[in-house]
Structures are given as C-alpha cells and as structure tokens.
Amino acid sequence: MPQPAPTACLALADGTLFYGHGFGATGQTVAELCFNTAMTGYQEIMTDPSYAGQVVTFTFPHVGNVGVNPEDDEANDPVAAGMVVKWDPTEPSSWRAAGPLKAWLERRGRIGIGGVDTRRLTRAIRRQGAPHVALAHNPEGKFDIAALVAAARGFRGLEGLDLAREVTCAQSYRWDETRWAWPEGFGQHTAPGHKVVAVDYGAKRNILRCLASAGCDVVVLPATATTEEVLAHDPEGLFLSNGPGDPAATGEYAVPMIREVLDTTGLPVFGICLGHQMLALALGASTIKMNHGHHGANHPVKDLETGKVEITSMNHGFTVDSQTLPQGVIETHVSLFDGSNCGIRMAARPVFSVQYHPEASPGPQDSYYLFKRFTAAMQARRQAA
C-alpha cells in the first residue's frame, strides 16, 4: 500500500537522515540523541529533568499505549527535547489514562517522530557515541535538509554545559508526599521525622516521595544553595539529587558547598545520579563523558560489599572515573554491563552515593535499602548526640 509522505525528519550531524511521521508539537529542536531500553515509563522518562538537552530514542516499540496521566509526571512539564519511536503512538488502552500521548506532547511543546527504524538508529548511537541531531516536524513535509544538518552540527553538546540551573526549583519548598500505594494513591508524611535538605539539581518527584516515605521531613533547595542556606535549616542529613548536564560544570558552584558541609559537619550525605557525581567531585575524584551512556530500566549493578546484584534504572551520560577515587573513598557498586562506577562511600563516615535510580523500582525493590540506610545513619547520629 502507498505510504504517507513523511512529516518529520531527524538529521544527524554526520548527514544521516531518518524520515517519519511527526506528532506532538511542530517546529524544530536540536539536542544530543540517546536511547532508552525501558519497556515502560515513557512519560516518566520524558518528564525526568535528567534528560534536558536530549532527544530520546525508545527501543521498545509500544509507546503511547497507556496514555498519560498527571500522577506519572516527574516534573511539571516534559524536559526531554523530543522522542523517537518505531511505531506511531496508538490511542491509550489503560484505565489510568487521562489523555493521549500525542495531544500531551503538542500541549507541552515537545516533538515526536514515529515510523523510524529504531534498531538501526540505536546501533548508530552505540557505534559513534551520542550524536548531535536536529529534529523537525512539519505537517506539510517540507524540510530544509542542509539547514537541519547545519543545526545539528552547530549544537554545542553537553560537555561543559551546566543544565542544573535551568531545571532546578526557583525557590525552596517543603515536600511531604509519599510513594503511591494501592488503592489510596499517594500518601502524606505527617509524623515527625529526620530533617533533610535535598539539593535540587533536577530532582525527580519520586525520589522526594521515597525520602518522605522513609520518614524524612524534606525541604528542597535550589541547585545554587550555599552552605549557609543549607545549614540554616538545621538538617540532620543532606541529599544530593539527580540532574542533567556536565557534572564538572555544575560542580563549579555545587562542589564548594558540599565540601564545606563535609568539612564542618558530621551530617550523613546521600547522592543519586548527578548527586553521586557531585559528591565524587567534592571528594577529589573526576568524571568523564561516556560513549553513549546508560539509559534504561534493566541495568545489572553489583554491590561489591555484599556480592548481591541489583536490577536498576539508569540515566546518565557521564560517569565517575573510579581510577581517580582518593584514599578513604571506597567503590561500592559497579555496572555489570561495562564495569563503570555505580557507587561510592567514605570509609569512616556515613557519606555515600549511587549512580543509578533506586526510586524507579525496576527490581522492583532491589535498591530501596539505600533510603533506609540514609535514615539509619541520621538516627544513629541523633542517638549519639
């Protein structure tokens, strides 16, 4: 049967073109291209602030089949620049759906392209690394290919780019919503708990829910929070959130604060994703850009101290260089895909972090112990006072 004319085009910086069917918003965007292997959670992925500056290729073909709903947002709006899928999104067939994906993307100003050979595209990303791309959607099917390729080549990339400032909260706020549970839905933390300051480099809502569910009274501060602003809340623990961009760039203002807290207090510290990288930089290690990063909900990670293997969710394009960890900092977790660092801790203090996302529950509860470890450290410090 005759195929409809393409209404979207994905142009790679090397001149490779992928045509497909556009959906969502019209227009053009430039970004880094990555792929995600998760079989569920496309809405959570699109609203994860860690995907700022990236177009996401979904390797799982059934995208849009469960629609969208407000409960699955990890931020107020989609943060990923766009999405690439094999099959055009279908109408939702889930009792939880509050609307279709296409309309949601259009309303939120994000571009999608369907009908793409995502296997071929994923292989290209793995071979050459995360490429720079321009994604355009024009219902009339008219594209200036030379301009699209030039736009992709002109994208500066994520190295040296501080995106945490763009996705962080504008002002501090308190968080008391707990994890979703059947049949009540989200709950509320009301009992007195451990005071935790969470620094928002692009925090996912479910991380904050997990902290509240673990018994924490959480106040969230912007990424640029100073030591004085953190300690003004008299916290019992410091949490460093996930986020996008180059950790070295964000570290220019985040690392001094973390070092001062470490040097002047005995607070337990827990970091996830970019927060893990911020802590590593503060302790004297370095970070490096990965070829294509880790993005998915099926990544095996080994706990080197217990020998257990956790199935984890990951989303990062930079990693801590384990060869640069200083004396007194122990590597605790590694990826079983490529051996890259996935966790550290200080030998003599309750300060630790992981590269993966324990709140995403792909195991589904393999990694929730980390939140309990954090609260146990705060409880031990309280009892020793």
What DSSP string runs through 9-38?
Answer: EEEETTS-EEEEEEEES-EEEEEEEEEE--
Directed axis angle between helix 247-264 and helix 274-282, to 10°? 60
Nearest to 200 by CA among 179, 218, 176: 218
Structure tokens that stand for 186 in this block: 């989200």
Cα–Cα distances (Å) from 92 to 68, 89, 181, in that order, read 8, 9, 23
Amino acid at residue number 349: R
Structure tokens that stand for 130 in this block: 């995360």
CA–CA distance, 361 with 297 (Å, rounded to integer): 9
Q: Which domains does the chain have, with CATH numbers?
A: 8-154 (3.50.30.20), 164-384 (3.40.50.880)
Active site residue 273: yes
Q: What is the pLDDT of residue 197?
A: 98
User: How open is the CA angle 33-35-39, to the nearest 5 degrees?
Assistant: 150
CA–CA distance, 60 with 122 (Å, rounded to integer): 11
Contacts 24+ apart (CB under 8 A), 184-188: 185/71, 186/71, 187/213
CA–CA distance, 372 with 367 (Å, rounded to integer): 10
Question: Where does the chain have alpha helices with state H?
Answer: 42-46, 101-108, 118-128, 145-154, 164-167, 205-213, 227-231, 247-264, 274-282, 369-384
SS (H, E, C) 271-298: EECHHHHHHHHHCCCEEEEEEEEEEEEE
Q: What is the pLDDT of residue 385?
A: 81
Q: What is the pLDDT of residue 240?
A: 98
CA–CA distance, 74 with 46 (Å, rounded to integer): 9
What is the tens place of the pLDDT at every residue in 184-236?
899 999 999 999 999 999 999 999 999 999 999 999 999 999 999 999 999 99
pLDDT in single tens digits along all 385 residues of the chain: 666 789 999 999 999 999 999 999 999 999 999 999 999 999 999 999 999 999 999 999 999 999 999 999 999 999 999 999 999 998 999 999 999 999 999 999 999 999 999 999 999 999 999 999 999 999 999 999 999 999 999 999 999 999 999 999 999 999 999 999 888 899 999 999 999 999 999 999 999 999 999 999 999 999 999 999 999 999 999 999 999 999 999 999 999 999 999 999 999 999 999 999 999 999 999 999 999 999 999 999 999 999 999 999 999 999 999 999 999 999 999 999 999 999 999 999 999 999 999 999 887 889 999 999 999 999 999 999 8
Nearest to 329 by CA among 269, 370, 384: 269
Q: What is the pLDDT of residue 272?
A: 98
Active site residue 357: yes
Q: What is the pLDDT of residue 153?
A: 98
CA–CA distance, 380 with 237 (Å, rounded to integer): 12
Nearest to 25 by CA among 137, 122, 130: 137
What DSSP designation does 60 have?
A: S
Q: What share of the chain is helix, strand, coil (3-state, %, to 5)?
A: 30, 35, 40
CA–CA distance, 89 with 104 (Å, rounded to integer): 12
b/e per residue 183-213 (b: at least 16 CB within 10 A):
eeeeeebeeebbebbbbbbbbbbbbbbbbbb
Residues 6+ apart with CB under 8 A from 186: 71, 177, 178, 179, 180, 209
User: How open is the CA angle 74-253-354, to the nearest 5 degrees?
Assistant: 50
Residues 6+ apart with CB under 8 A from 109: 25, 78
Q: What is the pLDDT of residue 365?
A: 87
Q: pTM higher than 0.85 for the full model?
A: yes
- Of the residues 273, 276, 292, 342, only one is catalytic, namely 273
Q: What is the pLDDT of residue 1?
A: 60
Residues 6+ apart with CB under 8 A from 7: 20, 21, 22, 137, 138, 139, 140, 141
